[in-house]
Amino acid sequence: MIIPGFIIALATFPGVIVHEMAHQLFCRWFRVPVFDVCYFRLGNPAGYVIHENPQKASHQIWIGVGPFLVNTILGAVVAFPGAIPVLKFDAGRPLDFFLIWLGISIAMHAFPSTGDAKSIWRGVSSRDVPLLGKVIAVPVVALIYLGAIGSFFWLDALYGVAVALALPSLITLAFA
């Protein structure tokens, strides 16, 4: 099913904002100048951060991967206490559904855009990254790259739903 991107972005706008903020935060931590930021818009892309090419490859990787980590963790935590009563106990209140929506919105924007993925790939393939670092980073970056491309096939939405709704069940099973 093809739904216009701006509708998806509008329905999940908190995730777009968190994603761009995460890029900007990592730029701030690594002292990389940010020339322009758009936290949200009804266009393609829905948000962006234009920054200087970092001096170090590791910084470039972190700035690219940052939103993946931030959005995944934030989405998982926010959705957790909403997902349990709704899915497990059939006792969801409006607040629980709100948390689930927020969690999915945030988590489904965890995947970097294709632009981010290219930037990460440049960082990993740089001569600055040692061989061991490349061995570890390449599969991760490949997965992220796949996610970035796969958003066309709803992979990002599936990821968001999995993080927000499937993860609580998996954690429960692991501890029970």
Partner 1 sequence: MQPPLPPLTCQLCDKPAEVGYSAELCSVCRTKLAKRPFPIWIKFAVILVALAFVYALAKTPASLVASIAFERGQRAEAAGNFGLAAAEYAKAVEQFPQSISAVARLGIMQYRAGDRDAAIQTLRPLAGRQASKELMTEINAVIAEMQQNRDSAQYKATGITSSTRGSSNDILDRFLAENAPSATPLNSSTQTTARSVKPGTVVADDVGGTKINIPPPTGFFRFDGKSNRVDAQLKSGLASTNRLLAAFASDSDLALAMKDEIPELQRWLFAQALIKSGYFTGTSWMRLKSSTRRDLQTDMEKLNSSELWAKIQSGVASISKDLGLEYGGANVVPLEVFDEDENSLCYAVLLKSQFRATDLDKPVTVIQYETAAMVYVRQRVIYLYSCAVFENKSDADWARTSLQRWRNEVVAANQ
Q: Which residue among 53, 97, 115, 135 contacts partner 1 (CB under 8 A)?
A: 53
- Residue among 1, 2, 91, 132 that touches partner 1 (CB under 8 A): 91
Tokens 């969690």 belong to residue: 103
What single-letter amino acid sits at 52?
A: E
Q: How far apart are CA 153 and CA 161, in angstroms?
A: 14
SS (H, E, C) 74-105: HHHHHHHHHHHHHHHCCCCCHHHHHHHHHHHH
Distances (CA, A) of 94 to 86, 99, 103, 136, 161: 10, 9, 14, 42, 18
By the rule CB under 8 A, 128 interacts with partner 1: no
92's torsion region: left (phi>0), alpha (psi -120 to 50) or beta? beta
- Read off the tokens for 5: 């991107």
Q: Compute the least distance from the CB of residue 13 to partner 1, in Å.
A: 9
By CB under 8 A, residue 18 contacts partner 1: yes
Binding segment (CB under 8 A) for partner 1, from list 57-65, 78-86, 110-118, 134-142: 78-86
39 binds partner 1 (CB under 8 A): yes
Give 126 or 155: the residue with its C-beta nearer to partner 1.
126
**Is residue 44 at the binding interface for partner 1, with CB under 8 A as the rule?**
no
Interface with partner 1 includes 115 (CB under 8 A)? no
Catalog residues that contact partner 1 under the rule CB under 8 A: 14, 17-18, 21, 24, 27-28, 30-35, 37, 39, 52-53, 55, 74, 77-82, 84-85, 88-91, 99, 102, 106, 168, 171-173, 175-176
